[in-house]
Amino acid sequence: MINFNYETDFSLESEEEISNWILNTVSEETYKIEEINYVFCDDEYLHKLNVEFLNHDTLTDIISFDYSIGKLIQGDIFISIERVKDNAKDFSVSFKEELNRVIIHGILHYCGYKDKTDEDATVMREKENHYLKQLD
């Protein structure tokens, strides 16, 4: 089950389309979803979580809490709409593209992909691009 929650003045245009895309991504990666909760929020909300739970006093676009067991995905993904908007401008892409990239980025972490090293980040970006093409 995929749930979308809104803690800011924003809502997805098509929750069903995004849900199906996420389910297809997870299936292609040979995982299954137990429950994913997306929470769309603002910088203040996400910053508070970042400080409280991760001890990081910085702004970020996404924080995910992974409760997965084996190939069964469970987790909470918090996304700052303000950060996504700013990043879209910085990267010269549409808000929608950047939002979808962040949405799938969290899922790819749950599927075992990392992004701490340059090599891992390259693989992550390739996977993001692969799945973003499936939404077009």
Distance CA 89, CA 5 (A): 24
Amino acid identity for residue 29 in this structure: E
Work out the number of other CB atoms within 10 angstroms of the CB of residue 90: 9
Q: How many domains does the chain have?
A: 1
Q: Is residue 130 annotated as involved in ligand binding?
A: no
pLDDT band at 135 (very low <50, low <70, confident <90, very high): confident
pLDDT in tens, 101-117: 999 999 999 999 999 89
Please provide the DSSP assignment of 52-94 as one string. HHH---S--SEEEEE--BTTEEEEEEEEEHHHHHHHHHHHT--
Spatial separation of the C-alpha atoms in residues 68 and 72, rounded to whole Å: 6
Which tens digits make up the pLDDT trace of 4-47?
999 999 999 899 999 999 999 999 999 999 999 999 999 999 99
Mean pLDDT of the chain: 94
pLDDT digits (tens, 9 = 90+) for 113-133: 999 899 999 999 999 999 999
Sign of the alpha-carbon dihedral angle for 86, 9, 59, 98: negative
Q: For residue 56, say whether it is annotated as part of any ligand binding site.
A: no
Total-model pTM: 0.92
Domain with 71 in it: 2-133
For residue 105, say whether it is annotated as part of any ligand binding site: yes
CATH code at 83? 3.40.390.30
57: confidence class by pLDDT, cuts 50, 70, 90 = confident
Q: What is the pLDDT of residue 83?
A: 95
Query: Within a 10 A sphere around the Cβ of 106, how many other Cβ atoms?
Result: 21
pLDDT at position 55, please? 80
How far is residue 28's CA from residue 21's CA, in Å, rounded to a whole number? 11
